[in-house]
């Protein structure tokens, strides 16, 4: 009989990491894999190397949640330097132009912000991972090849800003945007509208719905932990599967129904409750569903969603109930 590999019996859940500047998202994934001794780790939305902040990692059975966590809005705090244009719309590229910023330019920025809220069709940065004919734009740009203009619809909301004291033309912006939006594009375009140009000089992700930066663990702290059996789950950054979709309603099920659900069968006794939740709360929405969790442990057993032709169906089943336990910091 073939023995199970380590990754087959490893922990399952969502790990919220505060990514430091200088690492790619893949770098963080690799380092977490080493700590957990499993290859079953992915992420739900990349962060550029020059950005810091919330990186949502999916571990073990948690990778099955990718479709539900990738689509959430993202929130950022970032610094925009007026009077500066670069090839990448941030500090990674070459400087194209520098101009002096006046008090009138700052006032114009304040006025223009109102025009840059809501749905916008903006040009994607040439140095980005967006693909055209199978090639990433940054691959074309770095090879000195022509990069076609790609325009994408992006949504920006909850925009606020303030001048950074003592720094001419430096503005700190806080906003929330839709999945796949580029704050670099937002800054570049508003800079063009003001007439000074603009580039992002610092970027930090503080939210990826439904998670926030305050729930993260710093990567260095996580790497210093010795994970061992204990009475409590990891406090900082670790989200058990049963709590990974807190904005979804849940139904607690009896332990003797678990096997049936994992085999794709919905117990008749819970059908009325599922139907009521879906019909009353979700209507035509296909991106949200019901969590079926074990009544004693709260472990996630399955996800049920509205079917394409009406009714509802099991979309995912989860076979692991193992969790990470309390950390012990090594001396």
Residues whose CB falls within 8 Å of the CB of residue 319, separated by 6 or more in sequence, listed in order = 61, 262
Specify whether the CB–CB gap between 194 and 82 falls below 8 A.
yes
Distance, CA of 229 to CA of 50 (rounded, Å):
36
Specify whether the CB–CB gap between 150 and 130 falls below 8 A.
yes
The two three-digit tokens of residue 163, written as one number? 């001048």
Q: What is the dihedral of CA 31, 34, 39, 40, to 10 degrees?
A: -70
Task: Single out the residue of 103, 151, 108, 102 nearest to residue 126, CA to CA.
Answer: 151
Per the residue annotation, which of 48, 79, 90, 105 is the catalytic one?
Answer: 48
Largest separation between any pair of C-alpha atoms in the chain: 75
Distance, CA of 295 to CA of 299 (rounded, Å):
8
Task: Single out the residue of 239, 238, 229 nearest to residue 326, CA to CA.
Answer: 229
DSSP 211: E
Distance, CA of 210 to CA of 16 (rounded, Å):
11
CA–CA distance from 130 to each of 88, 141, 154 (Å)? 13, 12, 14
Residues whose CB falls within 8 Å of the CB of residue 99, separated by 6 or more in sequence, listed in order = 83, 84, 196, 197
> 18 catalytic, yes or no?
no
DSSP 5-23: PGGGSS--EEEEEEEPTT-
**Beta bridge partner(s), residue 303:** 291, 316
Q: Which residues are catalytic?
A: 48
């Amino acid at each position: 009989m073939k023995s199970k590999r380590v990754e087959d019996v490893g922990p399952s859940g969502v790990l919220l990491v505060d990514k430091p500047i200088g690492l790619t998202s893949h770098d963080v994934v690799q380092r977490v894999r080493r700590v957990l001794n499993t290859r079953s780790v992915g992420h739900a939305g990349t962060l550029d190397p020059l950005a810091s902040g919330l990186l949502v990692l999916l571990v073990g059975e948690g990778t099955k949640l990718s479709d539900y966590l990738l689509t959430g809005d993202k929130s950022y705090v970032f610094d925009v330097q007026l009077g500066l244009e670069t090839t990448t719309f941030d500090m990674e590229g070459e400087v194209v132009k520098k101009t002096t910023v006046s008090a009138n330019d700052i006032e114009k920025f304040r006025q223009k912000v109102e025009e840059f809220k809501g749905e916008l069709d903006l040009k994607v940065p040439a140095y980005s991972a967006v693909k055209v004919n199978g090639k990433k734009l940054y691959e074309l740009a770095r090879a000195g090849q022509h990069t076609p203009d790609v325009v994408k619809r992006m949504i920006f909301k909850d925009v606020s800003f303030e001048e950074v004291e003592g720094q001419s033309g430096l503005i700190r912006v806080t906003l929330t945007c839709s999945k796949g939006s580029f704050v670099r594009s937002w800054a570049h375009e508003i800079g063009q509208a003001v007439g000074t140009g603009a580039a992002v000089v610092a970027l930090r992700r503080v939210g990826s719905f439904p998670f926030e930066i305050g729930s993260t663990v710093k990567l260095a702290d996580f790497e210093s932990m010795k994970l061992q059996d204990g009475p409590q789950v990891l406090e900082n950054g670790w989200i058990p599967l049963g709590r990974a979709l807190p904005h979804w309603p849940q139904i607690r099920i009896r332990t003797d129904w678990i096997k049936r659900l994992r085999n794709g069968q919905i117990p008749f006794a819970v059908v009325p409750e599922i139907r009521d939740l879906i019909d009353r709360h979700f209507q035509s929405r296909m991106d949200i569903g019901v969590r079926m969790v074990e009544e004693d442990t709260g472990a996630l057993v399955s996800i049920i969603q509205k079917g394409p032709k009406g009714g509802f169906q099991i979309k995912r089943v989860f076979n692991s109930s193992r969790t990470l336990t309390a950390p012990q910091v090594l001396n």
